[in-house]
């Protein structure tokens, strides 16, 4: 299980505002914020430091994927990210090449990162031992 992950950004101003808007439909909020780092998490996350981080530094484009609870959240993420200045990299729709029911949308953020929201509508939850 992943505790948290981060991406590098050139500065925090534009990316932080972008992610605040783009991740709002997925219930992500800023948890921690200073001049070098900002972190986001869902309110149900017990870790006050967040699970998605923006760190100032030299960056190379990354691919990050956020879970959605349904197709409407994927579509709301896509619209919010476009409105916040993101660029289309794949409109909401099923991507059956991954598995049937893989419903996702892709956006390029202001720093060139590919971000995705996905809803696994037919994915079976497997019991782990």
What is the full per-residue pLDDT of the chain (129 aa) written as tens digits? Answer: 466 789 999 889 999 999 999 999 999 999 989 999 999 998 776 567 788 999 998 878 899 999 999 999 999 999 999 999 999 999 999 999 889 999 999 999 999 999 999 999 876 554 444
Q: Is the pTM of this model over 0.75?
A: yes
DSSP label at residue 87: E
Domain 5-120 CATH class label: alpha beta
Give strand pairing partners of 104: 93, 118
Return the bridge partners of 108, or none.
Answer: 87, 114
Place of tokens 């409109």: 91
Buried b (16+ CB within 10 A) or exposed e, 21-30: bbbbbbebee
**Which tokens belong to 127?**
């019991």
């Amino acid at each position: 299980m992943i505790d948290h992950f981060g991406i590098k950004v050139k500065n925090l101003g534009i990316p932080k505002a972008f992610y605040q808007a783009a991740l709002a439909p997925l219930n992500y909020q800023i948890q921690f914020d200073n001049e070098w780092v900002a972190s986001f998490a869902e309110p149900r996350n017990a870790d006050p430091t967040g699970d998605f981080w923006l760190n100032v530094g030299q960056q190379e484009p990354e691919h990050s994927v956020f879970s959605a609870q349904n197709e409407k959240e994927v579509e709301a993420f896509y619209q919010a990210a476009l409105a916040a200045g993101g660029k289309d990299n794949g409109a909401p729709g099923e991507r059956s090449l991954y598995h049937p029911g893989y419903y996702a949308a892709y956006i390029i953020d202001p720093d060139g990162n590919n971000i995705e929201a996905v809803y696994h509508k037919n994915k079976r939850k497997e019991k782990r031992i």
